[in-house]
Amino acid sequence: MRIAIIGLPQSGKTTIFNALTGAHKETGVHGTGHVGTNVAVVRVPDERMEFLRQMYNPKKFTLATVEFIDVGDIFAEKSAGKPEVATAMGLLRESDAIIEVVRVFKDDSVPHPKGSIDPQRDLREIYSELLITDLGIVEKRVDRLKKSITKPAKTQQQDKEELEMLLKCKDALEKEHGIGSVHLTDVQKKTVKSFCFLTQKPRIVVLNIGEDQLGDKTIEKGISDAAGVISMCGKLEMELEGLEEQERGEFLKDMGIDELSASKLIRLSYEILHLCSFFTVGEDEVRAWTISEGDNAPTAAGKVHTDMARGFIRAEVVHFDDLKQLGSMKDLKAHGKLRLEGKDYIVKDGDIINFRFSV
């Protein structure tokens, strides 16, 4: 899973990136117009995995991971035409979800590019950049298709259908509606996917608040056009990254923060992307895997190894909750909690699976 961080210049994107990933990228030094992509991989915290680690004491312990990308000010006017922007844009388009960082903190020493603090306005501004980017992609493709359609060719029918779909998207974008809102047939949905449109991605708003605004419930009010909203104090949480775990825990308690935003954000991302986890266990390795809700057993097997999907015979499944309750695989068997599942089995969050396969 890849999540891209965007936002207006100097809104705290890199600060939030550091807070989420424990990276130490320089903040505040670039001023407006900084482009340059920061990338970091973060392990997905999961208490269930800790339990499994204790139980199996494996040689290898592998948590699921999420990649965070701070793409810099790719929408700033000054950035236009820079080669780094094209790279950053590519990464943004390949992302599964977008975090929009919006400045709420007050600090006279950090000038706001718009001159005042106004989260709603900034969000509209960011969204219009997403709309414009998508519109640019649509228009380019529409022009090409219009040209190719005038020449008779084998693919003409397909081109006509694509053009029809894109004109629908264009119409929506011009009315400032995201492509996610366009009604499409199943075939069109497949075609549209390949364009990686930005307004089709789930968006999470991160309100970057100051320390003095912690606990202010009114801040999130009126921010509703996203899949989720989180407020966090980027600067504070970035500094907390440097503390020992115990020290950090105490500090958080003192500040009235119940959980670091990184965990909250990852959980929210799983929710909005409809992802879940299953586990494979053994003395060699205990490992968490990420799949989509509704994936069947062979699809899950394919995450582990393509051979396992190809030669899938059956899945031996227990649920983590049962293992935790009964304490051992032996007891699970005795209580009839070990199930043999076939190709149609829909994997559930927290399943522990051993795949049987032959190739």
Residue whose CB is less far from ligand GTP, 15 or 296: 15
- Does 170 bind ligand GTP (CB under 6 A)? Our answer is no
Binding site partner of 7, from Mg ion, ligand GTP, none, Cβ cut-off 5-8 A by kind: ligand GTP
The position carrying tokens 């032959």 is: 358
Neighbouring residues of 283: CB distance < 8 A, sequence distance ≥ 6: 56, 57, 58, 59
Residues 225-244 touching ligand GTP, rule: CB under 6 A, are 233-235
Residue 241: alpha-carbon gap to chain centroid:
21
Give the residue carrying structure tokens 């909250």.
264
**65, 43 contact by CB (below 8 A):** yes
Query: Smallest distance, Å, CB 72 to ligand GTP?
Result: 5
| String of contacts with Mg ion for each residue 18-47, x by CB under 5 A | ------------------------------
Residue 302 touches ligand GTP, criterion: CB under 6 A: no
Smallest distance from Mg ion to CB 104, Å: 17
- In the bound state with ligand GTP, the residue whose beta carbon lies nearer, of 198 and 236, is 236
Region of 14-22, 225-233, 315-323, 334-342 interacting with Mg ion (CB under 5 A): 14-22
Tell me the window of 9-17, 180-188, 313-321, 337-345 that interacts with Mg ion (CB under 5 A): 9-17
Cα–Cα distances in angstroms (integers) from residue 224 to residues 126, 199, 262, in the given order: 14, 15, 21
Residue 78 CB, nearest distance to ligand GTP (Å)?
11
Q: Does 12 bind ligand GTP (CB under 6 A)?
A: yes
Q: Does the footprint of Mg ion cover residue 231 (CB under 5 A)?
A: no
Q: What are the Cα distances from residue 237, in Å, to 112, 168, 243? A: 21, 43, 10
Report the nearest approach of Mg ion to the CB of residue 72 (Å).
6
- Decide: 33 and 100 in contact? Cβ < 8 Å: no
* Residue entry with tokens 């606990």: 215
Q: What is the DSSP letter of 347?
A: P
Residue written as token pair 């900034």: 122
119 part of the interface to ligand GTP, by CB under 6 A: no
Q: Look up residue 32 and give its DSSP letter.
A: T
Give the C-alpha separation, 246 to 134, whole Å. 46
Q: Determine if 216 is a binding residue for ligand GTP (CB under 6 A).
A: no
Q: Show the CA angle centred on residue 317, arms to residues 313 and 320, nearest 5°.
A: 155
Report whether 66 contacts 269 (CB < 8 A): yes
Q: Which is nearer to ligand GTP, 201 or 235 (CB)?
A: 235
Q: Is 261 in the site for ligand GTP (CB under 6 A)?
A: no
- Contact footprint for ligand GTP (CB under 6 A): 7, 9-15, 27-28, 30-31, 34, 72-73, 105, 107, 110, 208, 210, 233-235
- Contact footprint for Mg ion (CB under 5 A): 13-14
